[in-house]
Amino acid sequence: MTRYLIASGMALLLCGAPLQAAETTPQQQKMTVCNQQASAQALTGEARKSWMSQCLKKRAPEEKGLTPQQMRMKTCNVQATEQMLTGDARKTFMSACLKNNGQAPANG
């Protein structure tokens, strides 16, 4: 009986963990944006470390009054511009990117 209770308790804890992990802090969002920008620039090694350091030191967009949706829009817009997308291709990319919380779509 004790084993069953312990196993049930562990199962409840494990099921609750993904719910907590889904919430991101402003710092995690900032890290994600900086990583995306470094990847878009194809930075590696010391250049990437330097970029990340400088990027993370900048004031976070939410400190400038941007909402999370505005931050996602800005990130996706930068990515679309870097890929030189226009017209329908840009609209499609932006839609997919915004649905993925600012992450570039897997196929493009």
pLDDT digits (tens, 9 = 90+) for 46-101: 888 887 888 888 765 555 677 778 888 888 888 888 899 999 999 999 999 888 87
pTM above 0.75, yes or no: no
Listed range (10-14, 34-38, 96-100) with the worst mean pLDDT: 10-14
Between the alpha carbon of residue 107 and those of residues 29, 41, 64, 92, 96, the distances in Å are: 22, 18, 32, 11, 10
Domain-embedded: residue 21 = no
Please give the average per-residue pLDDT across 24-49, as a whole number.
84
Handedness of CA 74, 76, 77, 81 (dihedral sign): positive
Q: How confident is the model at residue 5 (pLDDT cuts 50, 70, 90)?
A: very low
Domain-embedded: residue 56 = yes
Range of the domain at 52: 26-99
Domain-embedded: residue 105 = no
Domain-embedded: residue 61 = yes
Q: Return the pLDDT at 15.
A: 54
Please give the average per-residue pLDDT across 1-16, as a whole number.
54
Domain-embedded: residue 104 = no
Q: Return the pLDDT at 92.
A: 94
Overall domain count for the chain: 1
